[in-house]
A and B are shown apart, each in its own frame.
With several copies, the nearest count.
Chain A
């Protein structure tokens, strides 16, 4: 029997110490009619060997050639050291660092992580992660609504519009979460250039409590974030910036958007050392200006001193959290995505600003090469980052399916997300894609389109 160390002698001695005849007796407070065995035919336990064989076979079933899909999850190189370190038992099997003195490793990692994210985003504070990008955006919206005192005082409606090209799956997650607090999340239209059309908002009075913009947006297009930030600042609307942290190695930090910058920055950390792994676990991050620190959800680590006056780290501002503040907490989040934060911290240490910049630039360049090689028109005119919408001139879903049968992920068909883009695919080529792979995609696409 796996994992249980008790010998018969142990069990007997323990039962004696308790003073019962058998283990069954320990369940005597459970009413008989609630006792039940697992139903169906009993499953024999598999040995580790058998279990791994099953997993290996199933994983092999799904093995694919090169991946040209991004859409919030990117196939970047991860240095071997990242997961060799993050998988050390002391990181991987540690509990939440509530006992600070026995958790200095985890705590210092988070403190370093917070610093790195503040550097990337230009914000003053960062939490120790939320679940992922979509749920993180929901937390950011809730936070913005809580934090906009002016709006609350003035009784503005709880409306938080989103730029039209915010990741549609982030929008869905945000809506299902924030609707329970009566927050309305309307979508703004996107223009022919692929960027948000703010004129749709111009008439609004009172203005929205907060506004969400994504940079680069779902289409890979770069928004005019200066104009958006200024629009929001002028109206007392809090600006929530949803960003790809890797892009910030090249792009202006949200703190520097327009004249005053964004108020809250969120996003998904997957590009920072997290394998695609079907999209999870990854981690969401949430940063803010100093003024909003007490509205942040989730854990935050602070540096302090020990009884000898030496520096050390501990969870702080816990009065925001559910285990202290209960129904009045800033969020219900408890378990977060700590191990991924550890990996990301190590990843960023190994890459540094220069390395991240080169990864971002190489991904941009590869995507340019890809678009060129595919020879199909871009759907949107504005500059893009490392993703791009391509018009195939016919329904895209069957084409993508055909490419998949050919063994490659040839972009994301957009029809299921935007009916008007049913002929389009969103493609991405990270720094890992070789010219040979790009050529393979181009050839396969030509084949698929000629059928």
Chain B
């Protein structure tokens, strides 16, 4: 049953009759452009489809049904009110190319969001168009590049990233035609300033970093880093994926960053949708503002208008971005208010530090025990792996049996056998305590009965899946037997 696909339910001639418009001829299409045979899409009744996808959904973990301490992903509660607000018929039915004159309600929402985000960023300009964090990064690096070009400095094509940067950072740099250079991280999770000094130079386009970093700690010497990069002629990109930790507490603009993106699907609580969509608005200091991607909403005396920044890097998509996600983020921000925003950072941090303290007491090794956790922290199971032959991945899989989603595994890369844990502020103490209890239980199992851990999960719809076979014997689409 597990792997019965919708195609297996199909029968020739079956269908969902209520979904068929009255038949119409399309005889005037040139015969040579028409297809011979119909595509083999499923032929199922409405009930069959409904039941199939209802039951498939039940094979998923989700925030609505489980705790997700997934580091770097900020899986917090996605308010249903925001979902409904963005689903107002007037918004759902709005065509993207409707004239601005009949789109003032929508434009007002976007403008409000721009203003809110500017304030949170500590930056004077904002474009909402990037469709995810990675596209925000792309915009940012392209802007950095365009800025250097505009200064007549077209040789600056090297992007620095701290070791352990998220994969999108180097991938973005490469996609923007830049080369990537890693900068080492020191013992306590901070960037190695000497290494940075050695790395910067005439080719430096800029540095991309998160803060709090992917190590789950606040980079204490961030302004020194900014000075080093700026002094060398480079610019600083702030990867906003970890902004939940400092929301209402500190602003990237104050730290010396020139350009940044938000992950609204993290910090602003829009749902992850099983992989997307997200939104990655990009903010900039005054000197980079003219390079922002368009369109941007501007408020005039009379109304709201779309504008394209003067030296814009251009459009990143056909229309204006993931509007529905932007609306959800605005709804969330409005419900938080200033005070609520501050509390996000505070309680995300409280939860992470509490969990770190509890796990430490339970015998787990923190990667950086001397540091404050930000909104997330890292434990390493390297010792355990050596002793009992149980890996971080085994731990992760076994947690699923306890009804808890696995933390992020093996990231950042430089910490061996690590779990990156981020509880978020919307989980209650009881949930955190249950997580600690599960971890303690698995730790005991790892010692007494490692096989159970190694072969986990046991309570999921499938047992552990063979990824090697998946990649070796590629089966990427259903075919009739």
Contacts and interface: CB of A to CB of B under 8 A. Distances in A.
B206 interface: no
Interface residues on B, range: 35 or more
Nearest to B251: A36
Given A35-B249, A108-B3, A333 B79 contact: no
A359 interface: yes
A52 interface: yes
A299 interface: yes
Given A133-B318, A336-B276, A337-B276, A89 B39 contact: no
Nearest to A106: B274
Interface residues of A, number: 208
Contacts of A92: 62, 64, 78, 83, 271, 273-274
Contacts of A348: 41-42
Interface in B246-278: 246, 248-251, 254-255, 263, 265, 269, 271-278
Contact of A346 (B40, B53, B122, B428): B53
Interface in A23-79: 23, 26-31, 33-40, 42-49, 51-52, 54-64, 67, 69, 71-73, 75, 77, 79
Contact of A176 (B86, B95, B142): B142
Interface string B27-71: 011101111101111111111111011101111111111001010
A18 B357 contact: yes
Contact of B134 (A15, A56, A334): A334
A11 B42 CA distance: 19
Interface stretch (A201-209, A231-239, A400-408): A400-408
A127 B223 CA distance: 41
A447 interface: no
B285 interface: no
A284 B443 CA distance: 44
A165 interface: no
Interface string A331-364: 1111111111110011011111111111111101
A135 B7 contact: no
Given A357-B38, A401-B101, A322 B19 contact: no
Contacts of A378: none
Contacts of B341: 38
Interface stretch (A149-157, A186-194, A304-312, A436-444): A304-312
A180 B171 contact: no
Given A91-B273, A105-B59, A112-B478, A251 B80 contact: no
Interface stretch (B102-110, B196-204, B230-238, B383-391): B102-110
B279 to A, nearest CB: 8
A102 B464 CA distance: 10
A337 B464 contact: no
Nearest to A308: B463
A89 B255 contact: no
B314 interface: yes
Interface string A97-117: 101111111101111101110
Nearest to A426: B97
A90 B64 contact: yes
Given A17-B358, A109-B53, A134-B317, A332 B255 contact: no
A172 B313 CA distance: 10
B101 A51 contact: no
Instruction: Name, among B43, B138, B466, B470, the residue most crowded by chain A CB atoms within 10 Å (CB to CB).
Output: B470
Instruction: Name, among B13, B34, B263, the residue most crowded by chain A CB atoms within 10 Å (CB to CB).
Output: B13
A131 interface: yes
A281 B277 contact: yes
Contacts of A431: 21, 24
B81 to A, nearest CB: 4
A379 to B, nearest CB: 17
Given A90-B64, A250-B26, A361-B23, A64 B98 contact: yes
B447 interface: no
Contacts of B106: 58-59, 62, 278
A396 to B, nearest CB: 12
A321 B345 CA distance: 31
A332 B46 contact: no
Instruction: Name, among A44, A55, A305, the residue most crowded by chain B CB atoms within 10 Å (CB to CB).
Output: A55
A29 B44 contact: no
A55 B88 contact: yes
A81 B464 CA distance: 32
Given A26-B372, A312-B2, A383-B28, A248 B35 contact: yes
A151 B340 CA distance: 56
A253 interface: yes
A302 interface: yes
Contact of B277 (A19, A46, A280, A304): A280
A59 B276 contact: no
Contacts of A400: 99
Contacts of B135: 131, 135, 333
A420 B17 CA distance: 45
Contact of B318 (A20, A99, A169, A322): A169
Nearest to A386: B26
B452 interface: no
A304 B57 contact: no
Interface string A164-208: 000101101101110011100000000000000000000000000
A409 to B, nearest CB: 6
Given A26-B349, A104-B2, A364 B64 contact: no
A104 B56 contact: yes
Contact of A358 (B20, B76, B220, B265): B20
Contacts of A3: 17-18, 45-47, 76-77, 79, 269, 335-336, 340, 425-426
A404 B62 contact: no
Interface string B100-124: 0111111011000000000110100
Contacts of B167: 321-326, 329, 334
Closest 7 CB pairs of A and B: A176-B314, A89-B64, A45-B337, A279-B96, A279-B319, A338-B275, A339-B273
Given A96-B274, A340-B277, A364-B26, 4 more contacts: A27-B349, A307-B464, A349-B6, A354-B20
5 contacts: A63-B93, A84-B84, A249-B39, A316-B471, A326-B171
